[in-house]
Amino acid sequence: MSSNKIKVNTSKPSYVYSVISIVAVLFVLGVLGIFLIHAHELSRHFKENVEVTLVLKDVVNQEKVSTLQNTLKQKPYVKSTEFISKEAAAKEFMEQYEEDFTEVLNYNPLFSSLSVYLQADYANEDSLTWIKEELKQQTLVDDIFYQATLLDLINTNTNKITLILLAVTVFFLLIAITLLNNTIKLTMYTNRFLIKSMQLVGATQKFIIQPFLKQSIYKGAISGAIACILLAIFQLLLQSRLPELALLNHFGKFVFVCLILFGIGILISWWSTRRAIKKYMHTNLEDLY
């Protein structure tokens, strides 16, 4: 026998309904995946904008500051640095508070400083403890300040949001598996007599299952492709409403989400089809009516 001669009896409405069901579930999972990506990238963005201020000693020159900046840039935990001179600090203060304190004091009491921005992976209290001690070893550094409360708030909220999104994603994944499994079982119900007839005339299990599995893989791939297209449209619409999200856009991670959706669509469709066929193969002919 040749499996190419088997015609899988799947009506068009049933096939379309099955694909639509898979697409809907994959799209919801994809949206949750996009939110997880944005939450992660937003967390990185906030962490990398937490400022660690190095107060420099009063007598410094630009050459020494440049040397210090070059030294810090070699550190794996440093993303970027920005030097703020005494004059620039005074100007910023006067612009912010609209008051010229130098006229009262007759001198500039502010210090030159170096703003250090860390890589996101190092922007946590544990890392900052030893980073602070290491930075204190620099001869030009007089003192170090950073917003510990803000950093703790960012890390705490990020962990909460990530856990909630992961829990919701797992919940919807379980629902997705159940819904898709039931949908495919209903689709396979129309082929139950064909499956049993082939079994009764001596067809092997591989010969019976193979054409159905091929169709299930094709169906899962089509559903995954449609879900990814809808997901891309959703992301574009989201960015048009919230342009700030464009800064968090990560094409590589979006492609990764799409690959996962492809995999889930094909795997669930293949597994549910195989499971349903085996069920009907082990069911008595009388019980199929």
Question: CA-to-CA distance for 185 and 20, rounded, in angstroms?
Answer: 15
- What's the token pair of residue 152? 């703790």
* Orientation angle between helical segments 192-200 and 205-241, nearest 10 degrees: 150
Mean pLDDT over residues 216-244, rounded? 83
The Cα angle at residue 205 between residues 199 and 209, in degrees rounded to 5: 100
- CB atoms inside a 10 Å sphere around CB 256: 13
Mean pLDDT over residues 156-176, rounded? 81
Asked if residue 7 has pLDDT above 60, the reply is no
Asked if residue 28 has pLDDT above 70, the reply is yes
Same domain, 141 and 274: no
CATH of the domain at 92: 3.30.70.3040
Same domain, 41 and 55: no
The Cα angle at residue 166 between residues 163 and 172, in degrees rounded to 5: 140
Look up the domain containing 237 and give its range.
3-45+154-288
Same domain, 226 and 139: no
Q: Which of 127, 146, 165 is the last residue of a domain?
A: 146
Q: Mention every residue, 6+ apart, whose C-beta is less than 8 A from residue 50.
A: 117, 118, 123, 146, 147, 150, 151, 154
Q: Is 226 helix (H, G, I), strand (E, B) or coil?
A: helix
Sign of CA dihedral 223, 228, 233, 238: positive
Same domain, 226 and 264: yes
What would the DSSP string read from start to end of 182-237? HHHHHHHHTTHHHHHHHHHTT--HHHHHHHHHHHHHHHHHHHHHHHHHHHHHHHHH
Per-residue DSSP letter, 284:
-
pLDDT at 208: 73
Q: Would you give the distance in Å from CA 171 to the centre of its chain?
A: 17
Asked if residue 1 has pLDDT above 50, the reply is no
Place of tokens 């440049």: 66
Same domain, 139 and 165: no
Place of tokens 């400083």: 113
Q: Which of 128, 146, 164 is the last residue of a domain?
A: 146
- CB atoms inside a 10 Å sphere around CB 176: 21
Same domain, 186 and 271: yes
Same domain, 15 and 101: no
Question: CA-to-CA distance for 8 and 263, rounded, in angstroms?
Answer: 23
Same domain, 95 and 170: no
pLDDT at 243: 67
Question: CA-to-CA distance for 144 and 55, rounded, in angstroms?
Answer: 6
Question: CA-to-CA distance for 10 and 190, rounded, in angstroms?
Answer: 7
Confidence of residue 124 (pLDDT cuts 50, 70, 90): confident
Number of domains making up the chain: 2
Same domain, 83 and 65: yes
Asked if residue 99 has pLDDT above 50, the reply is yes
Asked if residue 270 has pLDDT above 50, the reply is yes
pLDDT above 70 as % of the chain = 75
Same domain, 227 and 84: no
Same domain, 219 and 81: no
Asked if residue 34 has pLDDT above 70, the reply is yes
Q: Mention every residue, 6+ apart, whose C-beta is less than 8 A from residue 60.
A: 112, 140
- What's the token pair of residue 105? 């004091």
Same domain, 15 and 128: no
Q: Is 141 helix (H, G, I), strand (E, B) or coil?
A: strand
Question: CA-to-CA distance for 229 and 23, rounded, in angstroms?
Answer: 10
> Average pLDDT of the chain?
77
Question: CA-to-CA distance for 186 and 183, rounded, in angstroms?
Answer: 5
Q: Which of 94, 71, 79, 20 lies closest to 45, judged by CA?
A: 79
Q: Which of 100, 118, 146 is the last residue of a domain?
A: 146
